[in-house]
Amino acid sequence: MTQSIQDPFTKAQAPLLIQEVGPRDGFQIEAAFIPTVDKIALIDALSLCGLAKIEATSFTSPKAIPALADADEVLRGIRRQPGVVYTVLVPNLRGAERALAAGADELNLVMSTSETHNLLNLRMSREQSAGRLLEVVALTQGTQVALNVSLSTAFGCPMEGAVPEAVVLAYAQRFLEAGVRGITLCDTTGMANPRQVRALCEAFIGRFPGAELTLHLHNTRGMGLANALAGVEAGVQRFDASLGGLGGCPYAPGATGNVCTEDLVHMLQAMGYEVAVDLPRLLAAARSLPALLGHDVPGQVLHAGRSQDLHPIPASLTEIRARAEA
Amino acid sequence: MTQSIQDPFTKAQAPLLIQEVGPRDGFQIEAAFIPTVDKIALIDALSLCGLAKIEATSFTSPKAIPALADADEVLRGIRRQPGVVYTVLVPNLRGAERALAAGADELNLVMSTSETHNLLNLRMSREQSAGRLLEVVALTQGTQVALNVSLSTAFGCPMEGAVPEAVVLAYAQRFLEAGVRGITLCDTTGMANPRQVRALCEAFIGRFPGAELTLHLHNTRGMGLANALAGVEAGVQRFDASLGGLGGCPYAPGATGNVCTEDLVHMLQAMGYEVAVDLPRLLAAARSLPALLGHDVPGQVLHAGRSQDLHPIPASLTEIRARAEA
């Protein structure tokens, strides 16, 4: 089903593709180390949900992100499902070599479009980061691995404020010209609003129609699903989301919560969009999170149930009706 | 500013009007009684925020809703600001008489469009409820008081499921023909999705172009702001919202949280819509809620700050930059 018939004003793609980032973006900020076997079990459960991509882990220095120090074991331990792309975050050449050796389908490289955010987050200038990432691109020439570059703070930097559209598109162009297949526009700290999402995504798609564009949103100020919908209407097909709404950004104070995978799927399916995700199965996976992590998670459908899950009619209704009729 | 120039596909009105329901819809389910003087102080603070309407209290039986047993004192005690409509919820003739005596600007009558929900919530059939409300309409003939009817579960009933559009519009028509000025379409338990909001609101506006339509949304499944935006794009001008995201429905398990006033205003203003609400002042009022209620509130901008409120650049940046350049 395409949406063009029902929504004359949207450029919605069909099917919409959901990419799970919880095992990386969510787990990386958990205080307690999640046992490798549990990480693998969760990813294996997610692999059966109809997600297009799963960001399984991050090949960063174990010193920088101890929560994901078991990246090799996780990527080697999961049971891969056909049709699911297993991507991993990679900050540099060393990480790329490890990720390639462990058999990643895709390397997700990351830099910030804000100089201040990049310096604080990656301890390099943007130009230094771009250079490092292009080294990784060169390394993978002739391999089968796919490449994606995530551009952080594409919708605003919490220290600098607005990031010019031209800056974001210029970095995207540089990586696409170097042979990168996908670009992710990241609202790293939840600053985007729906008008802005629509504008930047339309500009991106207009300029790079062949690129694999992903929208990565946070729900920091409650606009997560409104922003996702703006992306859908602008023609974005791929959406990062995090099971249970896990995640945040350790370098951005007050920024908490990626867009929640099950809440996003629930909304899009309720609206009639084609999303090949098994929501009950996804909810079952989300339900395992509080015990796994030792704390509640922000996902709302997990707590309230799906819109279509009706509540039983209370036994008292018969008596209430009889009294009303009396 | 009208939005027609920037958004060719929306029917957005300017200005958008925000109606605060926290002192009624929020406070009514608080376990601890909020002292009358504190209710009055909060409403007085809200009166200076640029809100179009404030639902100050409910003239229900003190036995049914003890939290609002002080309705008379609250309505008589507040300092009214010109331009703000002070509305009160009224379930029946007795409540209407009390509200008129206390000087309400508007009576907000309520019934459900779902038979099951109406029976459970109001202990009457829908027809009995409609009859009672029409008695209130008759009572107010010749007075200056305005009338609004809130139609609960207009976007779905948690027990019955979908409520046919024709049923919702038929109740609206009956009350409008009887002389009621406003109709509120209520997503009482947060079941609506943006496509549904757009469809029902467009149908309503097409059929009753002169009616004062309000959209009353809950954020139960995370779609609150996406639904509000769908309403804006359908041409709805008035939106109920609750400071801090207080509220819920005591008769609908799992249903928590009206759309949060400050989060809604924040999104709409960030998008460039004309909303004459003083957001910093509103946030100051919201900031008083946790101490007043003894618990945290779900509003997100309260915790994360506005998108445009930048964080200071850490002192460490200079050193980080120097090392990066070395």
CB proximity B81 to A under 8 Å: no
Give the Cα separation of B186 and B151 in Å (integer).
6
pLDDT of A10? 78
Cβ count near A88 (within 10 Å): 30
DSSP B222: S
Cβ-proximal residues to B65 (8 Å cutoff; 6+ apart), any chain: B28, B58
Which ranges in B103-164 belong to alpha helices (H)? Answer: 115-122, 126-139
For residue A250, the model assigns a pLDDT of: 47
Confidence band for B1, pLDDT divided at 50, 70 and 90: very low
Measuring CA to CA, which residue among B200, B244, B231 is closest to residue B20?
B244
- List CB contacts (< 8 A) between B271 and chain A: 193-196
pLDDT band (50, 70, 90) for residue B194: very high
Mutation to test the B interface, candidates A195, A220, A262, most B Cβ within 10 Å: A195
A161 interaction partners in chain B (CB closer than 8 Å) = 308, 310
ipTM: 0.95
**Which chain A residues contact residue B123 at CB under 8 A?**
320, 323-324
Q: Which of B160, B161, B320 sits opposite A120 (nearest CB)?
A: B320
Q: Say if residues B262 and B246 touch (Cβ distance below 8 Å).
A: no
> Quick check: B243 and B262 in contact, CB under 8 A?
yes
Cα A151 from Cα A157, distance rounded (Å): 12
Q: For residue B114, give Cα distances in angstroms to B140, B154, B156.
A: 26, 8, 8
Smallest CA–CA distance, residue B103 to chain A, in Å, is 32
CA–CA separation, B141 and A160 (whole Å): 58
Among B58, B72, B69, B60, which Cα is nearest to B23's? B58
**Poorest-pLDDT segment among A52-61, A206-215, A246-255, A307-316:** A246-255
Q: What is the dihedral sign for C-alpha B93, B98, B101, B103?
A: negative
Chain segment B54-92, per-residue pLDDT in tens: 999 999 999 999 999 999 999 999 999 999 999 999 999
Token couple for B249: 């429905």
Res B10: pLDDT:
78
Which positions in chain A touch B267 (Cβ < 8 Å)? 193-194, 221-223, 226
Nearest chain B Cα distance for residue A80, angstroms? 31
Tokens of A24: 């990386």
Of A191, A226, A311, the CB nearest to B307: A191
Comparing alpha-carbon positions, the chain B residue that sits nearest to A301 is B221
pLDDT classification of B2: cutoffs 50, 70, 90:
very low
Contact yes or no for B119 and A321 at CB 8 A: yes
Question: Strand B182-186 to strand A238-241: parallel, antiparallel, or no bridges (unpaired)?
Answer: unpaired
Q: SS3 string of chain A?
A: CCCCCCCCCCCCCCCEEEEECHHHHHHHHCCCCCCHHHHHHHHHHHHCCCCCEEEEEECCCCCCCHHHCCHHHHHHHCCCCCCCEEEEEECCHHHHHHHHHHCCCEEEEEEECCHHHHHHHHCCCHHHHHHHHHHHHHHCCCCCCEEEEEEECCCCECCCECCCHHHHHHHHHHHHHCCCCEEEEECCCCCCCHHHHHHHHHHHHHHCCCCEEEEECECCCCCHHHHHHHHHHHCCCEEEEEHHHCCECCCCCCCECECEHHHHHHHHHHCCCCECCCHHHHHHHHHCHHHHHCCCCCCCHHHHCCCCCCCCCCCHHHHHHHHHHC
Residue B304 at interface with chain A, using a CB cutoff of 8 Å: yes
Residues A183, A212 contacting (CB under 8 angstroms): yes
Mutate to test the interface with B, among A4, A300, A321 (most CBs of B within 10 A): A300
Please identify among residues 134-153 of chain A the ones whose CB lies closer than 8 Å to any CB of chain B: none
* pLDDT number for residue A252: 45
Residue A88, strand partner residues: A57, A107
CB within 8 A of A184, min separation 6: which ones? A108, A148, A149, A150, A151, A213, A214, A215, A216, A240
Instruction: Label residue B249 by pLDDT band (50, 70, 90).
Output: low
- Residue pLDDT, tens place only, A42-92: 999 999 999 999 999 999 999 999 999 999 999 999 999 999 999 999 999
pLDDT, tens digit, for every residue of A146-187?
A: 999 999 999 999 999 999 999 999 999 999 999 999 999 999
* Alpha carbon of B36: minimum distance to chain A alpha carbons (Å): 31
Domain spanning B17-325, CATH architecture:
Alpha-Beta Barrel (3.20)
The whole-number pLDDT of residue A157 equals 97
pLDDT value at position A248? 74
Per-residue model confidence as pLDDT tens digits over B287-299: 999 999 998 888 9
Smallest CA-to-CA distance from A178 within A186, A167, A170, A187 is with A170
Nearest CA in chain A to B306: A221
Residue A220 to residue A198: CA distance in whole angstroms:
18
| Contacting B residues, span 223-252, partner chain A, CB-CB under 8 Å | 223-226, 228-229, 252
pLDDT at A8: 52
* Whether the predicted model's global pTM rises above the 0.90 cut: yes
pLDDT at A256: 63
pLDDT at position B252 is: 45
Average pLDDT of chain B, as a whole number: 94
Q: Which of A16, A221, A233, A320 to mutate to test the interface with B (most CBs of B within 10 A)?
A: A221
Tens-digit pLDDT profile for residues A266-280:
999 999 999 999 999
Are the Cβ atoms of B324 and A255 closer than 8 angstroms? no
Q: What is the pLDDT of residue B233?
A: 96
CB proximity B274 to A under 8 Å: no
Cβ contact B9:B268 at 8 Å: no
Greater model confidence, B241 or A31: B241
- Alpha-helical regions (H) of B208-294: 224-234, 261-270, 279-287, 289-293
A65/chain B closest Cα distance in angstroms = 19
Give chain A's mean pLDDT: 94
Q: What is the per-residue burial (b if ≥16 Cβ within 10 Å, else e) of A143-175? A: eebbbbbbbbbbbbbbbbeebebebbbebbeeb
Instruction: Give how far B178 is from chain A: nearest CA, Å.
Output: 24
Q: Residue A9's pLDDT band (boundaries 50, 70, 90)?
A: low
CB contact under 8 A, A156 and B307: yes
Residue for token digits 């209130």?
A: B136
Q: Token pair for residue B283?
A: 């946030």
B225·A226 Cβ contact <8 A: yes
Yes or no: say if B109 and B150 are a contact pair by the CB < 8 Å rule: yes
A308 to chain B: closest CA residue? B161
Contacts of A31 (CB under 8 A, 6+ apart): none
Q: Which of A116, A194, A219 sits opposite B229 (nearest CB)?
A: A194
Q: Which residues contact B221 (CB under 8 A, 6 or more apart)?
A: A263, A266, A267, A300, A301, A304, A306, A307, B190, B191
How many whole angstroms separate alpha carbon A255 and alpha carbon A123? 20
Task: Tell me if chain A has a CB within 8 Å of the CB of B256.
Answer: yes
Burial of A228 (0-12, 13-18, 19+ CB in 10 A): buried
Res A2 pLDDT > 90: no
Contact at CB, A194 and B271, closer than 8 angstroms: yes
Contacting residues of B for A254, CB less than 8 Å apart: 303-305, 311
Q: How far apart are CA A205 and CA A212, in angstroms?
A: 9
The rounded distance, in Å, linking the Cα atoms of B272 and A198 is 14
